[in-house]
Amino acid sequence: MRAAVYLILATLFWAGNFVVGHAAMETMQPLQLTYWRWTLAAVPLLVLAHTVERPDWRSVLRRWPILLLLSSLGMSAYTLLLYSALGHTSALNASLVTAANPALIVVLAVVLLRDRPRPPGWAGIGLGLAGVLLVLTGGDFHRLLTFSINTGELLILAAITVWGLYTIIGRRVDVPAITSTAVQVAIAAVVLTPVALVTGAGLPATPAEGWSLAFIALFPSLGSYLLWNLALKRTTAANAGNYLNLIAVFTAIITVAMGQPITLPQILGGVLVISGVLLTSAGGPQRPRSSKSTSSPPSPSPDPEFRAR
């Protein structure tokens, strides 16, 4: 019961990142929000990692090349693309497209690693794709022929592609989850500092911007990671992964509560995407048969331990 509460709160905070991020993009720049989000979260995350996981920091730092790559993909590129997308599309659309990420990761694993999903996995990929197309086109599939898809939707597609690569690479890193995240966040803050100085990405100029940044740094960046990892001590990663579908659900609820309309294509698309994710999870990649013992690397199926939302 306690694990379920932790997971529900974690996904609620991640849903808040879509809603608050969308509002913040009306006056802030993607680089500004990305830079200050990770700069404010870096030290608390490092303290959290040291307190909870007590890693061998020398061993962790020896893996700096792969952690730098992951930070560039998951913290810098993904977050910049996400906030850029939220400047052009609704929080609900962004969350619905993002919900298809597990299916996209399976596709990338097929292309890059030659994994073979089972039949339910292929069915899930198809459903997820149909749901995403429904959301992208608003039910008007003629837009696909004319390529008149909103810039925001294209940016969020780029974002989840980057996240798919990040997830596949990240599964090969033998570093505890909070520690890996904390180091990547710290690297992002350091790497983005010169860019922020050159572009003038200063602190928030208004109280509304300040509250938005405070929420994003405190709840999606710190609270969700703490709650998520506390939950993983009490339940399996597979079970926790199913709760990630709540991000789109919570985003829809918040959207309605704020008086914003939800269209039928968004509802149907969300149902298809979430159904596709559940089928994809049930039909994970097949393990190649081998006469040797279990020496094969872990499957690059969606890993819920890394969610830099």
Which pair of tokens denotes residue 277?
């994710």
For the residues 196-213, what does the mean pLDDT come to? 91
Tokens of 174: 């033998």
Question: Where do runs of H (alpha helix) occur along 87-176?
Answer: 91-98, 101-113, 119-137, 142-146, 151-170
In this predicted structure, what is the pLDDT of residue 291?
39
- Number of folded domains in the chain? 1
> Which range has the worst mean pLDDT, 90-104, 188-202, 228-242, 275-289?
275-289
Is 136 part of any domain? Answer: no
Tens of pLDDT along 128-179?
Answer: 777 777 777 777 766 655 555 678 888 998 998 998 888 888 877 888 888 9
Classify residue 175: in a domain, yes or no. yes
Quote the domain boundaries for residue 258: 1-101+148-265
Residue 56: is its pLDDT beyond 50? yes
Please say whether the beta carbons of 3 and 234 come within 8 A.
yes
pLDDT in tens, 5-18: 888 899 899 999 99
Give burial (CB, 10 Å; 0-12/13-18/19+) of 213.
buried
The answer to whether the beta carbons of residues 217 and 40 sit under 8 Å apart is yes
Look at residue 80 and tell me if it is in a domain: yes
* 245, pLDDT greater than 70: yes
Nearest to 192 by CA among 64, 14, 7, 34: 34
Q: pLDDT at position 171, please?
A: 75
> For residues 20 and 197, is the Cβ–Cβ distance under 8 A?
no
- The yes-or-no verdict on residue 295 having pLDDT over 60 is no
In a domain, 302, yes or no: no
Q: Average per-residue pLDDT in the chain?
A: 81
